[in-house]
Amino acid sequence: MLKGHVTICKVYSDGTKEVVLDKGNMITGGLGYSLADLNTGAGSILPLDLTPYYFQVGTSSMGYDDSVAASSYFYQLSTPFDWEDYGADTDLDIVKRYRGFVASSLDVEAASPSYSEILFKSPQLSSTIFSGIDQYFSLVRPGMVTKVFMDSFEAEIILNENSANGKAITEMGLFAKNPKGFSQDSPLLLAYRSFAAVDKTSDFSLVIHWSIGFLGLSTNVDDYYTGGGTQSLSSPIPAGLTTSRPTNNSPSPGYY
**For the segment 99-124, what is each residue's pLDDT rounded down to a tens digit?**
999 998 887 777 788 898 988 887 76
Residue 35: CB atoms within 10 A of its CB come to: 14
> What does the pLDDT look like over 157-182, one tens digit per residue?
999 999 999 999 999 999 999 999 99
Domain spans of the chain?
2-102+133-222
- Sites in the chain below the pLDDT cut of 70: 1, 66, 124-126, 150, 214-256
HEC string for 2-70 = EEEEEEEEEEECCCCEEEEEEEECEECHHHHHHHHHHHHCCCCCCHHHHCEEEEEEECCCCCCCCCCHH
Question: Can you tell me the distance from the alpha carbon of 118 to that of 31, in angstroms, rounded to the nearest whole number?
Answer: 14
pTM, full prediction: 0.80
